[in-house]
C-alpha cells in the first residue's frame, strides 16, 4: 500500500519538447523545474542505448528549452552513489563517475537521469532551495537510496525533515513489476515461492516516511510505464527508449 497522496497533475511543458512537468510543484515552487520526457513523436525518441549524436541533440534540446545554463548527466550503475554539484557549470555535461543520484542548490544547473520502469525520485528543500534527483531500481531501493538522499540533504544543506518534499514519478506499478525470490530477499520482504509483483514506489514511500518525511509532503505519479495509458517507455515491454527526468533551480 502506498502511504502517500496520489499525484497525476502533470502537464506539457514547451511546444516542441515532449515533457510533462509536475504542476503542483510548479505552483508551489516557481523557482524550480521538475519534469520528465515521454515518447512524443518518433523523431523525439530518446534512445540512450545508442550513444549517437541524436541523443546528445535531445539532451541539449532539454537544456535549451528549459532555459538552463547546463544539463548534467550521470552514468547510472544501479547503486546508491550520490554526487553534489557546487560549482557553476555550462553546457551539456556527461560525467564519468558512476552514480544513481545527484544534487545541487546552484541556480542554472539542471540535473538529469534516465528511466524506463525504474523510479525517478525528485527531492526538494524549499528553505535551502536544494534539489535532488535519484534513479531507483530494485537495487537502489534495497540499498536505501532515498534514505541516503534525504540524509545528504540534512547533512549538506542543514535541511529539516518537515520541509523536504518528495515526488515519485512514472514507473512500473506494483501490479506489473513481477520479480523473483532473490529480489524479495534483497528488499527484506517475505520470499514468495514463485514470481510475485512488488511495489517499488510503495517501498520508497515507506522508507521516506520511516525517516520522518511528512505524509503530505510525498506525492506519487499515477502513471505506470508498462500498463499506463500515457506513452512512456518500458524496459519490461522491450522498449529501447528512455524517459529523461530533470530537476533544477531556475537561473
Q: Per-residue pLDDT tens for 80-127?
A: 999 999 988 888 888 989 999 999 999 999 999 999 999 999 999 999
What's residue 94's pLDDT?
A: 87
Q: How many CB atoms lie within 10 A of CB 92?
A: 19
CA atoms within 13 A on the CB side of 190: 2
> Which residue stretches of the chain have pLDDT < 50?
1-12, 41-43
What's residue 229's pLDDT?
A: 66
Helices (H), the chain: 23-28, 53-66, 138-142, 145-156, 181-186, 200-211
Grid cell at residue 110: 539542471
What's residue 41's pLDDT?
A: 47
What's residue 11's pLDDT?
A: 45
What's residue 178's pLDDT?
A: 86
Spatial CA neighbour of 30 closest among 22, 38, 42, 18 = 22
| Architecture per CATH, 5-249 | 4-Layer Sandwich (3.60)
Q: What is the DSSP letter of 42?
A: G
Strand-pair partners of 201: none
Q: Per-residue pLDDT tens for 166-175?
A: 999 999 999 9
Amino acid at each position: 500500500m502506498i502511504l502517500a497522496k496520489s499525484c497525476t497533475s502533470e502537464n506539457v511543458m514547451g511546444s516542441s519538447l515532449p515533457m510533462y512537468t509536475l504542476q503542483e510543484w510548479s505552483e508551489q515552487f516557481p523557482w524550480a523545474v521538475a519534469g520528465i520526457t515521454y515518447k512524443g513523436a518518433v523523431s523525439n525518441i530518446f534512445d540512450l542505448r545508442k550513444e549517437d549524436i541524436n541523443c546528445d541533440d535531445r539532451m541539449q534540446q532539454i537544456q535549451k528549452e528549459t532555459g538552463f545554463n547546463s544539463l548534467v548527466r550521470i552514468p547510472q550503475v544501479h547503486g546508491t552513489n550520490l554526487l553534489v554539484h557546487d560549482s557553476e557549470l555550462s553546457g551539456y555535461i556527461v560525467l564519468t563517475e558512476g552514480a544513481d543520484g545527484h544534487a545541487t542548490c546552484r541556480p542554472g544547473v539542471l540535473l538529469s537521469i534516465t528511466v524506463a520502469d525504474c523510479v525517478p525520485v525528485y527531492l526538494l528543500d524549499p528553505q535551502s532551495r536544494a534539489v535532488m534527483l535519484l534513479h531507483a531500481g530494485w537495487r537502489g531501493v534495497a540499498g536505501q537510496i532515498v534514505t541516503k538522499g534525504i540524509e545528504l540533504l540534512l547533512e549538506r544543506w542543514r535541511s529539516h525533515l518537515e520541509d523536504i518534499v518528495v515526488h515519485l514519478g512514472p514507473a512500473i506499478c506494483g501490479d506489473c513489476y513481477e520479480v523473483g525470490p532473490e529480489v524479495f530477499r534483497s528488499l527484506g520482504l517475505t520470499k514468495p515461492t514463485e514470481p510475485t509483483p512488488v511495489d517499488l514506489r510503495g517501498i520508497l514511500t515507506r522508507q521516506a516516511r520511516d525517516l520522518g518525511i511528512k505524509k503530505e509532503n510525498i506525492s506519487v505519479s499515477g502513471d505506470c510505464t508498462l500498463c499506463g495509458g500515457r506513452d512512456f517507455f518500458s524496459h519490461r515491454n522491450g522498449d529501447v527508449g528512455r524517459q529523461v527526468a530533470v530537476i533544477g533551480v531556475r537561473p
